[in-house]
Chain A
Amino acid sequence: MSKFDDYVQAIREGVKVLAKDTFGDFLKEADVDAKAYLEKIKVRLNEWTIELAENKISQDDFKDLVEAQKDLAAIHALTQAGVALVKCERFRSGLIELVINKAFEVFL
């Protein structure tokens, strides 16, 4: 096996560890987060409906709250997208470091 083959193999193994460290169970966590978030909205809508029925809030108030929740959900989605990008950025930085460090280890 040539040194280059050793190098490629070392990177492959390093990438597996890096991906596990960076992303972990990201997809599973995202799925759990989405379900929990939807559940929270459901509970909140239920509370507002009760408050509307008890005349604690007006119809206008109810409409405003639902519309505000819609915008808040958009902000939440942006957070999720941003956190995913942060993980990708960390993975990319880690990959560059790995490629350089393994080159030094194998060839020098």
Chain B
Amino acid sequence: MIRNIRDNMHGHYFFACLFLLILAACTPLIGPYSPTAYQNATSLKAETLALMDKATQPYAENEQKIDDLNIRINAAYEYVNGMPSNSISAKQWEILKNQEGNLLGKFFSRWKEKGVLSETFVKEFKKLISEAFDEIICLEANKESAVDCGKKNK
């Protein structure tokens, strides 16, 4: 049977094997789904939004909670960043948590600077932070199976 196969395939067999080897040898294009990363993102979203609600109260009263949250967010980032082929998810966390950036870093620095923030500003900023977490959650969910997060985000 092997001889029969060899006869039929001629030199093409070599190329087919080579093709398979190339495909199999490639590293994954993107990291695998991680239930831990998904869980971190969903629970940190809830915690972050709850803490942002308190920004109409003095910063000093919430400083410890903000520091604790930042530690947990950094831990979630480190977990994602440590996974192979996961640079896109890691970059999303980087943008979200960046102390010099325009999302969480900006919100907490404004809160610290002004002491308290207006209710309208908090409400509008929360929408953006909520969406940022949704984007991270959406990508992680899609690694497991195709999910249309767009409808929820629109």
Contacts and interface: CB of A to CB of B under 8 A. Distances in A.
Contacts of B120: 51, 56-57, 61
A76 B92 CA distance: 9
A79 B135 contact: yes
Contacts of A71: 95-96, 101-103, 132
Grouping DSSP codes into helix (H, G, I), strand (E, B) and loop, the A interface class, with mixed when no group exceeds half, is helix
Given A4-B10, A61-B118, A86 B143 contact: yes
A79 B95 contact: no
Interface string B1-22: 1000100111011001001100
B91 A64 contact: no
A96 B95 contact: no
A40 interface: yes
B51 interface: no
Contact of A2 (B8, B96, B131, B138): B8
B23 A3 contact: no
Interface of A: 2-4, 7-8, 29, 33, 36-37, 40, 44, 47-48, 51, 56-58, 60-61, 64-65, 67-72, 74-76, 78-79, 81-83, 85-89, 92, 95-96, 99-100, 103, 107-108
